[in-house]
Amino acid sequence: MVSRSRVGPDARAGTRLTVSQGIDTKAFGRGVWRGFVILVIGALLQPIAAAVAPLAGASFLLITAAVAFAFAGFRTGDTNHPIFQGAVTAVGSYGLVLPLVFIVSPSVEPSQVVATTVIAVAAGGLAGLTGHVVRARGKRGEKV
C-alpha cells in the first residue's frame, strides 16, 4: 500500500517554506514562542528580584525583555534577511505577551509600548545578524 502525504514537494524535499523568501516561518514560530516564554518567566520572577535587591528589581524587566528579544531573534533559519527575520520575530514575541501586560496593569503608557517595541526591533535584529554570522562560520568550519 502506498501512503500519500498531504505536504507539498517543498516540504518533502526537506526545504523550508518561506514567505516570499523573506521570513522562515518555522524559525519565526520557534523564536516567537521562545521569546514569549522568557518574557512570561521574567515577569513572574520580577517581584522576587525586587524583594531581594530593590535596585536590580527596578531594571529586571528591561533586562529580561532585552534577553528575551535576543533569544527570539537569534535563530533565523533559512532566510535571506536575518536582521529583518530577527526583528520581526522579537516583535512577534512581544505581541504575544502584550495582552497579558494590559490585563495585569491596565494603566500601560503608549510610550512604554513604543519603547519596548523599539527595543524588540533593535535586540532582535542584532541577534538575528549575530546568529546568521555564527551559523555561516560554523558551516564553513571556522572557529566561532
Which pLDDT belongs to residue 19? 52
pLDDT of 6 > 80? The answer is: no
Which pLDDT belongs to residue 10? 47
Residue 19 per-residue DSSP state: E
Question: Tens digits of per-residue pLDDT, 41-60?
Answer: 999 999 999 999 888 887 99
Mean predicted confidence (pLDDT) in 67-94: 93
The H or E element containing residue 95 is helix 82-104
Residues of the chain with pLDDT > 90: what percent?
64
Structural Rg of the chain based on CA atoms: 18
| Cβ count within 10 A of residue 120 | 28
Task: Report pTM.
Answer: 0.81
Q: What is the grid cell recorded at 87?
A: 526583528
Question: Tens digits of per-residue pLDDT, 98-140?
Answer: 999 999 988 899 999 999 999 999 999 999 999 999 988 888 7
